[in-house]
Structure 1
Amino acid sequence: MFRRRNQAPADDAPAASTESSAKTAGKGRPTPKRKDSESRRRSPVTAPSNRKEAYKQMRERQAAERVRAREGMMRGDERYLPARDRGAARRFARDWVDSRRTISQYFLPFSLALLLVLWTVPMLFGQAGIVLYSYAITFLWPLMIILVVVSSILVSQRVRKEVAAKLPGENLKGVGFYAAMRALQIRRLRFPPPTLLPGGKPVPPKR
């Protein structure tokens, strides 16, 4: 009787050891805890050791933020645009102006060319140049200014009318003036950059 009772635990011991070895044989190591795995995945955060290092890190973050904001503005992302350029009405006004050629956009190039001519003609042609200079100042310059003013008024009125028709409920305050001022700018210097070519075709992406 005593021998049979002692044999049962003895027979169970190899089975238990075999079971435990089978559990560890699959991976060869115990399963790591979730907490330990997450702590390994986290990258160590290096705090600045002194004031100079902290200032350096702050400048790097600010520089990266300025680059990101600049790229966002160049894409026309409204999150980075100034308040005066935000909104569907202002975006429509930009596209309307950029998709057309207006007299206003030639005002600055014409003014620069006229000034250059007026400086050089009197020196090259003497008395005849002075006469041409007086005619240009008397007629050409006022005529160009009148054309620009008329063009700006027409652009302002047309854009306000288009926005009211296509974007009902949008705030029209300052939209006409915004469009007229954009039409005065040289196309390459407009900001945000144009997304449409004259005629309405999209601007091809830069390579």
Structure 2
Amino acid sequence: MFRRSRSDEAAAPATPSPGPGAGPATEVAARPGAKGRPTPSRKEAEAARKARARTPRTRKELAAARRAARIEQSERVRRGMRTGNEADLLPRDRGPVKRFLRDFVDARLTFLELMMPLLLLSLLLSLTGNAYLVTTSSNMMPLLLLLALADGVALRFRVRRQLKARFPDESWKGTTYYAVVRALQVRFLRMPKPQVKLGQELPEHYR
């Protein structure tokens, strides 16, 4: 065995000692075969595992994931129909113009709202077999239709006047149809649910 001389020890490069600020990542990077990056924490590894577990891998899992997404979307829409939350409504009901039209119709009692119950009453009278009631029902039908037509035309003019004052720069396409269809529905069956009471004064701005 040969003993190293003092000159050989002096020529050998000194191994640098880690400074006081060096952490585990520095030690990992200095080891041969290390990944060169910090090891992920337990929380990050758990999150990555759950993300991989949620990813559908088979056709059955994909169908189940799509079905769950449809159920969640339906629940969001039902919640929006109950609360009037803009983000959860269907595209046809979104926007300040549609929100104003709903409030404008819901704040008033029109003949159009009474149209369906009266038509149902007229139908029931015609099924009684009583000659007088059948005649009365037959005479009521044209009158009801005429009053509904007149009320629909009046509603259209009122809606257009309000839209011109409140939303001069917005598109009014389909607004008359939207307002008339909602007015034809009985109040407690309207969707989205009414957010104003009868006779309530509407806000000035719907932006």
State how far apart, in whole Å, the 2-side matches of 1:178 and 1:61 are.
Answer: 29
Quote the residue 2:111 is aligned against: 103
Q: CA offsets, 1:122-160, max 9 Å, x none?
A: 2xxxxxx214412430x2111111111111111111011
Q: 1:34 and 1:157, CA in 2 relative to 1: closer, same or farther beyond 3 A?
A: farther
The structure 2 residue matched to 1:112, chosen from 97, 110, 120, is 120
Tell me the number of residue pairs that the alignment of Structure 1 and Structure 2 aligns. Answer: 163
State how far apart, in whole Å, the 1-side matches of 2:124 and 2:75 are.
Answer: 38
Q: 1:73 and 1:95, CA in 2 relative to 1: closer, same or farther beyond 3 A?
A: same
The structure 1 residue matched to 2:80, chosen from 60, 72, 75, is 72
Q: CA offsets, 1:162-185, max 9 Å, x none?
A: 111122212222222321221111
State how far apart, in whole Å, the 2-side matches of 1:189 and 1:135 are.
Answer: 28
- After TM superposition, list the pairs within 5 Å mapping 1:15-94 onto structure 2: 35-36=40-41, 39-40=44-45, 42=47, 44-45=49-50, 46=53, 47-48=55-56, 50-94=58-102
State how far apart, in whole Å, the 1-side matches of 2:166 and 2:62 are.
Answer: 51
Deviation at 1:83, TM superposition (A): 3.5
Deviation at 1:85, TM superposition (A): 2.2
Give % identity: 33
| Paired residue type of 1:148 | A
Quote the residue 2:14 is aligned against: none
Deviation at 1:191, TM superposition (A): 1.6
Whether the aligned pair in 2 keeps the contact of 1:153 and 1:180 (CA below 8 Å) is no
Q: Which runs of 5+ in 2 are unaligned?
A: 1-19, 21-37, 203-207
**What root-mean-square deviation, in Å, do the aligned CA atoms of Structure 1 and Structure 2 show?**
2.6
Whether the aligned pair in 2 keeps the contact of 1:90 and 1:175 (CA below 8 Å) is yes
SS of alignment partner, residue 200 of structure 2: coil
Quote the residue 1:173 is aligned against: 173
Deviation at 1:68, TM superposition (A): 2.1
Would you say 1:130 and 2:137 are equivalent positions? no
Calculate the TM-score normalised by the size of structure 2.
0.67
